[in-house]
Amino acid sequence: MSASILMKRMALLVLSTLATSVLAAEPSLLLTHATVIDGTGTPAQANMTIAIEGERIAAIYPDGSRPAPKAARVEDLSGRYVIPGLIDAHVHLTGAEPDFAHYQPHLQALLRGGVTAIRDMAGDDRLIGYLAGEANSDALESPDIYYVALMAGPTFFVEDVRAQEASAGEPLGFAPWMQAITQTTDIPLAVAEAKGTGATALKLYANLPANLVTKITVEAHRQGLRVWTHATIFPATPSDAVDAGVDTISHSPYLVWEAAPKVPDDYGVRAMGDFAHIRPDAPQILALFKAMKQHGTILDATLLPFEQEAQHDSKSVGAGIMPWSYAVTRLAHQQGVLIDVGTDSSGLPTDPQGPDLHALPLVHTEMALLVEHCGFTPLEAIHAATQISAAAMGQSTQRGTISSGKRADLVVLTADPTRDIHNTEKIAYVIKNGRIYQKDGS
């Protein structure tokens, strides 16, 4: 064989190898004729194709504008609507279930109900860390899970039975995911220990003064952790947290303390604000919204848990809590504050027997509350539960919108959710990481 023939054969070999790798990179799943609501707040686009390659969205384009790849599985979505996977930005997974075996159907119900990621806002990180490892590698049929390590003042751990249960077996206030912080705590070490749990963020929960909120936040950001706090941390106020640079603040009703004459040192009164006398548009609250907008601080409104508490245990919350919370959330939205969708629950409706595995996830109800009480359009509520919730979770680059390069986490609907927000409940099937999950379990 002459040298030139050998060269030609080698060139052919290289070309055919290239061709194989190009083929392998072709989309594996094509969703055609879909109406796409991409999560950015852009109006729905009809007659679109979404090309999925492995776990990622490869491209979105008008139907027929590119040749259909031969190897791809094609799903004709004529008459169907596609939104990004929903993200519940405030879940407490552990504590809701009696034992590990129960998590599997629970997480499966969330995923098949349209939830492709959850932000767990405090619990037992030994269990959450394990579940997150299984969920995020698709070993478990589940939304992906991101979680926190909690910090609070020492009195919190004595008062709060949930914190005691979530750190059982560890000295109270010294578990890396449930740490008591004082003025003498070695903050860099405490943050490093929290980071060692695999958490995405710190949750600053209660009974911490403003100077500690600032110290912890600066150090957490230095070590690459996010900081998610209660809106009022007692005595630290919402503006103390926002000025410290925290990334998200939780619970609309706690905003009332921004305009209260005094904020107590203890979180026990957190839902007992003076909703009768403090206006949602008090100048202090409007100034807070301005600061939040400047900093990009996200409001994790969590209206549903308070609505349920006001209905079933009205003495545990201040009179007038719901009209006030709806009004303040509406105002925040009008002022341009970013608002996510979180349910502050196990993610599913729960009774004393445990979560209802046949019910739809509560994220749909929280979205409906934003539309029905807080002036959101359905499109804005979808934006809140997708792009904004992904941002709240620290996952902006990976999730939350239907755009090329992002994870293929999608919900296929049989009715238009921009006409009626309750249509997010009409799920044909869910796609997570490029895999289809049919409602009936197939």
Chain residues that interact with Zn ion, rule: CB under 5 A? 121, 344
Closest-by-Cβ residue to Zn ion is 344
**CB 186, min distance to Zn ion, A:** 27
**CB 230, min distance to Zn ion, A:** 8
**CB 135, min distance to Zn ion, A:** 19
Tokens of 319: 């009179």
Q: Which is nearer to Zn ion, 270 or 383 (CB)?
A: 270
Q: Which is nearer to Zn ion, 106 or 270 (CB)?
A: 270
Q: Which residues are CB-contacts of 381 (< 8 A; sequence separation ≥ 6)?
A: 341, 367, 368, 370, 371, 421
> Mind giving me the DSSP string for 309-372?
HHHH-GGGS-TTHHHHHHHHHHHHHHTT--EE---SBSSS-EETTEE-TTSPPTHHHHHHHHHH
**CB 163, min distance to Zn ion, A:** 12
> Mind giving me the DSSP string for 373-410?
HS---HHHHHHIIIIIHHHHTT-TTTSSS--TTSB--E
Q: Which is nearer to Zn ion, 121 or 225 (CB)?
A: 121
H helical segments located in 113-237: 125-136, 154-159, 161-166, 187-195, 210-222
**CB 18, min distance to Zn ion, A:** 52
Q: Which is nearer to Zn ion, 107 or 150 (CB)?
A: 150
State the Cα–Cα distance between residues 126 and 129, nearest whole angstrom. 5
Q: Which is nearer to Zn ion, 344 or 380 (CB)?
A: 344
**CB 92, min distance to Zn ion, A:** 6
Q: Which is nearer to Zn ion, 393 or 428 (CB)?
A: 393
Tokens of 227: 């900081």
Q: Which of 177, 227, 179, 222 is nearest to 202 (CA)?
A: 227
